[in-house]
Structure 1
């Protein structure tokens, strides 16, 4: 399945979120820290691309580990935050679907929760592999089908419009990765919030607001709808849930 991504809408959403992004990027930290643990302890190469760097949190970590870090992001406002934090050695405004990087030039590509914004996972992984040196290494994480199911469930009682993006299934992602000589593992992370509004703000805070398919009044949350969301949103003793089905992919050693 290929997704229809409006890249300009994605840019606008992430530009707006950039200044406060670090206050909401809890899932991104959890995912990135797990991806770091998966990474081999040995990396002889030094040139690393942070593909979809955001505010540069992991660019900075890799730089502290002695890598020469190229920070790339579609959002210029995100890159400004990364530069403000002195996160990388070099900064590029660019699209992961059309990497402005020479073939066979990189030692490592790191991409944390970004490739779900590509219209074609197979293509973007090909792009990554082409820019890696023969012994280069790729680490990425992404979301799969089942993510944000609570949000979808709550809205399904209110209208028939799309309020949650489509994600590739775990089986589709694993199949694509096998074809690209990547090893995958999966994980489910469930986050909890005190109410529905705070759960939705967690998405807006990281710029994850662009919906692939058209949604009526997607930018407007009416009070009556919020009350209904509170009623129908799945919850447990810890609060209002948001589930994330994560996939981690790394180059076969």
Structure 2
């Protein structure tokens, strides 16, 4: 088993701190996961791995359809929150890139907005393929380059610091699915906020404040926030924030 990298330990801590109030801020995650579930279609009697389960929202959704669900997350505090929500019967701490499961042990791997935190997307998909039985399905959603574009553009007018993580391009993500029989699609979703504080509070509330290189985002300076707010291009008085969503469904052969 590969060692857990230091940045993944930081990811686990960041999301762990967000666990208790995560669902209050997770509108994007629910919209993405619901679309991903629709791409798969209803299933019953399957064993489903919810990889990156968070608070167990979609573990509960798959269980409600009559499936056995294994809820897996990198953050122990997220797993504890999923357990307190009575999300399923099986909880597993683990890394998507080194799944603690045997070969062909589940019928479906479902992973909603989690693999963007992986070091190696092809490795993550290979792990999903390894643990999925022939005839099963692997359903993945992730964020692509172009996500948080407005926030990135506003920061570029304030300073030259690193405030956001980089995402893979849609082309690179699509390429990772090429070795498998699959369906790939993309969508863009733009949310709007009445004020900057609400936007940043929501990002922090879903753990998105983590930077891969470990440097602090630098959002504490009041003057810095004022400059960021002034640099934002508004739409009908509101602050838009866009996400580039990629969806891939792999059919296990």
TM-score by length of 1: 0.94
CA 1:12–1:100: 2 relative to 1, 3 Å: same
Q: Tell me, yes or no, if the aligned pair for 1:5 and 1:117 is still in contact at 8 Å.
A: no
User: Distance between the aligned counterparts of 1:222 and 1:27, measured in 2?
Assistant: 27
Aligned pairs for 1:112-127 within 5 A: 112-127=112-127
- CA shift at 1:201, angstroms? 1.2
Say whether 1:97 aligns with 2:88.
Answer: no
Q: Encode CA deviations 1:75-107: one digit per residue, 9 max, x unaligned.
A: 111111111111012001111111001011110
Partner of 1:174: 174
Taking the aligned partners of 1:64 and 1:110, their CA distance within structure 2 comes to 15
User: What's the counterpart of residue 80 of structure 1?
Assistant: 80
Is residue 113–residue 140 contact of structure 1 (8 Å, CA) maintained in 2? yes
- Please tell me whether the aligned partners of residues 138 and 251 of structure 2 are also in contact (alpha carbons under 8 angstroms): no
Q: Specify the alignment match of 1:247 in structure 2.
A: 246
Distance 2:219 2:173 in 1: 33
Show structure 1 runs of 5+ residues with no match: none
Aligned length: 248
The answer to whether the 8 Å contact 2:158/2:231 transfers is no
What are the Cα deviations for residues 26-77 of structure 1, in whole angstroms up to 9, with x where unaligned? Answer: 1001101111111133x46511100000000000011111110000001111
1:136 to 2:136 alignment: yes
Runs of 4+ in 1 over 3 A off after TM superposition: none
> What is the rounded CA distance, in whole Å, between the counterparts of 2:67 and 2:227 in structure 1?
49
* 8 A contact 1:32–1:112 mirrored in 2: yes
* Residue 235 (1) aligns with residue 234 (2): yes
Is residue 226 from structure 1 mapped to residue 231 from structure 2 by the alignment?
no
Q: Deviations over 1:154-192 (max 9, x none)?
A: 111121111111111011111111223321100000001
Q: Does the aligned pair in 2 maintain the 1:52–1:72 contact within 8 Å?
A: yes
CA contact (8 A) 2:70 2:91 kept: yes
* Structure 2 residue aligned with 1:192: 192
Provide the C-alpha distance between the structure 2 equivalents of 1:26 and 1:238, rounded to a whole number of angstroms. Answer: 21
Aligned equivalents of 2:33, 2:248: Cα separation in 1: 12
Paired residues of 1:162 and 1:213 also in contact (CA < 8 A) = no
Alignment partners' CA distance in 2, 1:44 and 1:54: 22
Which whole-Å CA distance do the structure 2 matches of 1:202 and 1:155 have between them? 17
